[in-house]
Amino acid sequence: MSVYDVLKEKGITLPPAPPKGGLYTPVKEFGEKLIYVSGCGCNIGDEIGCGKLGKEITVEEGKKWARNAMLNVLSVVDANVGLDNVKSCVKMLAFVASDPDFYQQPAVANGASELLMEVFGEVPSRSAVGMVCLPDNLPIEIEMIFELK
């Protein structure tokens, strides 16, 4: 079954691929059928996330922003190699902008893992860590490794 049929069936709409925020390559192929997807923020159209978990952003809001960041990742993959070429979700690194006393980064990152589970039926290896701040005051940024068919 095509990933695009899965998206349609689950009512998941991919946003347009986000604009680049600097001098880098959004998706880089390497090694044996692997791609590295550059860190994607969580802004989609008018939905602009600003602030830190434990301060301006709640865990529930953070989960939604993490899902949005992964939607941006998928949209970048779609635009560069096509989602049906993905064989496996290898690694997620979830950067969570955090107040020094915020300790629930994994609960927040689960918002992104849940999207991968819905779309690909599997979740990658993962780290979810607290960052003192992120570009544009984003609450979440996510980078990914996928394996291609």
C-beta of 11: minimal distance to a copy of itself in Å?
20
Strands 125-131 and 34-40: unpaired
Q: Considering only residues 94-133, where is the footprint of a copy of itself by CB under 8 A? A: 95, 97-107, 109-110, 113-114, 117, 122-133
Rounded distance between C-alpha atoms, residue 26 and residue 18, angstroms: 10
Rounded distance between C-alpha atoms, residue 123 and residue 91, angstroms: 9
C-beta of 142: minimal distance to a copy of itself in Å?
9
Please check whether residue 147 is in contact with residue 58, taking contact to mean a CB–CB distance below 8 angstroms. Answer: no
C-beta of 58: minimal distance to a copy of itself in Å?
16
C-beta of 138: minimal distance to a copy of itself in Å?
8
For the CA atoms of 36, 74, 116, 123, the dihedral, rounded to the nearest 10 degrees, stands at -10
Based on the shown chain and the rule CB under 8 A, indicate whether residue 49 belongs to the binding site for a copy of itself. no
Residue 24 or 45 with smaller CB distance to a copy of itself: 24
Max intra-chain CA distance, the chain: 44
Rounded distance between C-alpha atoms, residue 29 and residue 18, angstroms: 19
Rounded distance between C-alpha atoms, residue 124 and residue 11, angstroms: 23
C-beta of 14: minimal distance to a copy of itself in Å?
20
Based on the shown chain and the rule CB under 8 A, indicate whether residue 48 belongs to the binding site for a copy of itself. no
Based on the shown chain and the rule CB under 8 A, indicate whether residue 22 belongs to the binding site for a copy of itself. yes
Give residues in contact with a copy of itself (CB under 8 A): 21-28, 30-34, 36-39, 52, 88, 90-93, 95, 97-107, 109-110, 113-114, 117, 122-137, 141, 143, 145, 147
